[in-house]
Structures are given as C-alpha cells and as structure tokens.
Structure 1
C-alpha cells in the first residue's frame, strides 16, 4: 500500500464519516505501534507528522520504510507528513525519501516571501503527487525548538488568507485563530467567526495547530466550521514520558525494556482514540 497524500487521505476520512483528519506527532519509533493500534480501533485513516528534528534523529528513510510497512501490514491508509519545516533543502530530503506530504512554514516571513517560497515547494512536490501545507499568521507557543511569544501572536485575516491561497494554490493552510503550540495545562480560545470567514473565502482545507490545548466542545465546533486537519503532539509526548518515568523508576535493570514501554504506548493509543472520536 502506497502512502497517501493529504487530499486523498481526507477523501478516505470523509467516506468513513469523519469531518477532519487528526495529524499526530511521532516523537520516537517506540511509539509507532500505538498509532496504528488506535487507527485500527477507530476505523480511521492515519496521518503521522514528523518534525525536522525527529526526522534527522531517526532518519528520513527509516521513517518512510517503517510507516509504509505498517500501513501495508495493517491495511490502514496512512499519510506521512513533514511538519513545520522552513528549510527547502530538508523538504527536498523528505520528498526524496518518500514522505507523502510536507509543510513549508514561512509564517515568520513577510507575505510576498512566504508566497514565493511556498510556490517553490509546490513546484517541487506537486509533480510527485505530494501535498503541501503552508502557514499564515503566527501561532503562539513552542514546538521543536521554535517559539512565538504570546505578545507576538498574529491572527490570520480573511484578506491575507484569500490572497495566499489564490497566489499559491496550496493544498492546506494552517491558520492562527487562537490555538497555542505546546499547551496542555490550559485551554485555548478559538475565534470561531474568524475561522468561518477564512473557510468561506478560501474554499481550501484549513489546519488547526496546537490541538492539544483545545476543549472537546471547541474542537467539535472547529471541525464543523472549516478545519479539515488537526495537529496534536504535546499530549502524546506528555503521556509517554510520564508513564515511562513511572515504569523505569519501578523497574529492575535486568527487566526487558518492553515492559517499561508498553504502559506508555497504551496511554498514547488511548489519547489518539479519544482525539479521533472528536473528528466525527
């Protein structure tokens, strides 16, 4: 089974009565079986996203080979997405390795440069049937070493969103409507009217970053109001690390390592199952 790009995966999700696709950050290979376990349990297609740091740590090709193998053996439609990458050479590396979707993050640039660089990535990716995500506006918080101070948050406007989509033809657009990267101790406040207005003028799949910090009610409203892709990362990491700390502390040095990791993976699968249920 080949890896799916985002538009094709979204079509599978819609056929299975999902309103949106969850895109889940993978932090290490040990977590990987939990993602497929959750997808199987929910009859959901699966989108796994990788930060550049994780891709460099594990190896682009190892990630592609591992995820493609599990997708085939489990018969789960899967998309492998490079998340938040501002380096076009790294995007080329991911594409050459076999990633099926990439994100060029030019949100720190002015509009003209963001559009120009996004178009460069689309010119590379589209002939190979690889989907491209871009970001417009500044989402607060931190992710994989990149940080935006709360006072520097810049919400996406309808005018900018329409211009950006019209001039790039991007497959999906991440928008700043009130979510925060890395938030897991509080709740974000989504600007639903702004989201609805952007959805109306762009007619393009929209992406919600910072999905961990969104209440269940807001999440359901967001996916009903124009969000087609929801990024979730921090919550899985927090659960995995928390359970590993507990099991490693109690374990003996001659115990099998798998005994330390199984409770952590079970907790991660439970998070995914809970989140996926919100996208119906």
Structure 2
C-alpha cells in the first residue's frame, strides 16, 4: 500500500463519515505503532506529520520506510506530511524521500513573498502528486522550538485568504483563528465567524493548528465550519512523557525498556482515539 496525499486521504475519510482528518505529530519511532492502533480502533485513515527537527533526527527515508511498512501491514490508508517547513530545500528532501504531503510555512513573510514561495513549492510538489499546505496569519505559542509571542499573533483575514488561495492553488490552508501551539493547560477561543467566512471565501480544506487546546464542543463546531484537517501534537507528547517518567522511575535497571514504553504508547492511542471521535 502506497502513501496517500491529503486530498486522497480526505476523500477516504469522507466515505467513512468523517468531516475532518486528524494530523498527528510523531515525535519518535516508538510512538508509531500506537498511531496505527488508534486508526484501526476508529476505522479512520491516518495522517502522520513530522517536524523538520524530527525528520532530521530520525532520517527522512527511515520515516517513509517505517510508515509505509505499517500502513501496508495494518491496512490503514496513510498520509505522511512534513509540517511547518520554511526551507524549500528541506521540502525537496522530504519529497525525494517519499513524503506524500508537505507544508510550506511562509506565514512570517509578506503575503507577496509567501505567495511566490508557495507557488515554487507547488510547482515542485505537483510533479510527484504531493499535496501542499500553506499558512496565513501567526498562531501563538511554541512548536518544535519555534515560538510566537502574544504580541505577534495575527489573525487570518478573509481578503488575504482568498487572494492567497486564488493565486497559489494550494490544497489546504492553515488559518489563525484563535488557537495556540502547545496549549494543554487552558482552552483556546476560536473565532467561529472568521473561520466560517474564510471557508466560504476560499472553498478549500482549512487546517486548524494547535488542536490540543481546543474544547470538544469547539472542535465539533469547527469541523462543520470548514476545518478539514486538525493538527494535534502537544497532548500526545505530554501524555507519553508523563507515562515514561512514571514507569522509568518505578522500574529496575535490568528491566526490558519495552516495559517502560508500552504504557506510554497506550496513552498515545487513547489520546488519538478521543480526538478522532470529534471529527465525525
């Protein structure tokens, strides 16, 4: 079974009565089987997203080979997505390795330069049937060592979103409508009216970054207002680390390391199952 791009995966999701696809951050290879277990439990296709830091740590090709192997053996339609990448050469590396979806993040640039660079990425990606995500606006919080202070948050406007989509032909658009990267101790305040207006103007799948900090009710509402891809990463990481701290602290030095990791992976599966249930 080969990897699917986002459009292909989303079409499968719709046939299974999902309104949105969850895109989950993989932080280490040990987590990977837990992702597929959650997909099987929910009969959901699976979108796995990788930061450039994780891709460089594990290796682009190892990630592709591992995900492809599990997708085939577990019979789970899967998309492998490079998340938040501003370096076009890194995007090319991911495409050459076999990633099926990429995100060009030019949200820190002027809209003219963002459009120019996004078009360049799309020209590369289209040759290999790779889906491309873009971003407009600045989402607060921190992810993979990159932080946006509260005073630098800027919300996506309807006018900019329409222009960006019309001029790039991007497959999906990440929007800033009130979510925050890395938020797990509070709840984000989604601007639902802004979200609905952007969806109406662009008519393409919209992406919600910072999905950990969104209440269940807000999430269910957002996926009816145009959000078709939801990014979740922090909550899984927090649960995995918390379980590992507990099991490593209680374990003996001659215990098999798998005994420490199994409870952490089970926690990741539980988080994914809970999140995926909100996307119907």
Q: Could you tell me the TM-score, scaled by structure 2's length?
A: 1.00
Deviation of 1:220 after TM superposition, in Å, equals: 0.3
Can you give the 5+ residue segments of structure 1 that lack an aligned partner in the other structure?
A: none
Matched, 1:6 2:2: no
| Structure-2 residue corresponding to 1:138 | 138
Q: Distance in 1 between matches of 2:19 and 2:122?
A: 26
Q: Which runs of structure 2 are paired with 1:1-280 in the superposition (5 Å)?
A: 1-280=1-280
Distance 1:16 1:251 in 2: 42
- Aligned structure 1 segments of 4 or more residues deviating by more than 2 angstroms: none
CA distance in structure 2 between the partners assigned to 1:144 and 1:238 by the alignment: 14
SS of the aligned residue for 2:223 comes to helix
How far 1:127 moved relative to its partner? 1.4
Per-residue CA deviations over 1:37-96 (Å, capped at 9, x if unaligned) read 000000000000000000000000000000000000000000000000000000000000
* Post-superposition offset of 1:145: 1.1
Q: Secondary structure at the match of 1:121?
A: helix
2:38 and 2:20 map into 1 onto residues whose CA distance is: 16
Distance in 2 (alpha carbons) for counterparts of 1:264 and 1:144: 20
- Distance (Å, rounded) in 2 between the aligned partners of 1:162 and 1:18: 25
Distance 1:252 1:29 in 2: 23
CA–CA distance in structure 1, aligned partners of residues 52 and 119 of structure 2: 20
Q: How many correspondences in the alignment? A: 280
2:79 aligned counterpart, secondary structure: strand
SS at match of 2:228: strand
Instruction: Deviation per CA, 1:187-225: give whole Å up to 9, x if none.
Output: 000000000000000001100000000000000000011
Shift of 1:151: 1.3
Q: How big is each residue's C-alpha offset from its partner over 1:88-130, in whole Å with a ceiling of 9 and x where there is no partner? A: 0000000000000000000000000000000000000011100
In the aligned structure 1, how far is the partner of 2:232 from the partner of 2:28? 15
